[in-house]
Amino acid sequence: MAWKTTLIIDGTTYEVEVSGDTVTVDGRPFAVAVKGREITVNGTNYTVEFAGDQVLVNGIPHAFRKAEAAKSPAAGPAPKTAQPTAAPSVEDANAVRAIMPGKVLRVLVKPGDAVADGDVVLILEAMKMENELRAHKAGKVKAVHARPGQDVEMGQVLVEIE
């Protein structure tokens, strides 16, 4: 059974659709498996706990809430929380982004390297845990925007694949 919702995490709004083992976030599909508090997303494991208005991902707290349902037309338009997205942009489809704030431990690719879908391109440390960031498509590494020891923010582009 499929369902849709809007989630707000750390002030950023995400349109989420869940259908079977696939979760689509703002038009980008992710393979997801859930076993208790352990969640595997595209082959990377996370421990997730909900605590009131926060979600702890591998021990890192994030403000979390479900967006309010739209009001009826008689009550006026619902507040706009995000621009609608029909599909990921080319930029998003080519970017490997930081999944959480952390420190780059190892960069495993360089510009010009060929990568397959699912290849590990970078290791990111967060809360003393190593997270493998993987290519989400086959192609050639266009650019690397990270270096070992660099602190990065969630969502920052680390590697571009063309």
Instruction: Give the residue range(s) of CATH 3.30.700.30 domains in the chain.
Output: 2-66
Q: What was the pLDDT predicted at 148?
A: 93
CATH number of 90-161: 2.40.50.100
**Whole-structure pTM value:** 0.48
Max CA distance (Å), the chain: 57
Mean pLDDT value across the chain: 78
Report which residue type is found at 153.
E
The CATH code belonging to domain 2-66 is 3.30.700.30
Q: Answer yes or no: are the C-beta atoms of 14 and 67 closer than 8 Å.
A: no
DSSP per residue, 83-103: ---SS--HHHHHEEE-SSSEE
- Find the range with the poorest average confidence among 4-8, 114-118, 129-133, 134-138: 4-8
Alpha carbons 28 and 67: distance in angstroms, whole number: 19
Q: What is the pLDDT of residues 49-78, one digit of tens each?
A: 777 777 778 777 878 777 765 444 444 444
- Tell me the pairing of strands 22-25 and 2-9: unpaired
Residue limits of CATH 2.40.50.100 in the chain: 90-161
Identify the helix (H) or strand (E) that includes residue 158: strand 157-161
pLDDT score of 84 more than 50: no
Q: Are 145 and 159 in contact (CB under 8 A)?
A: yes
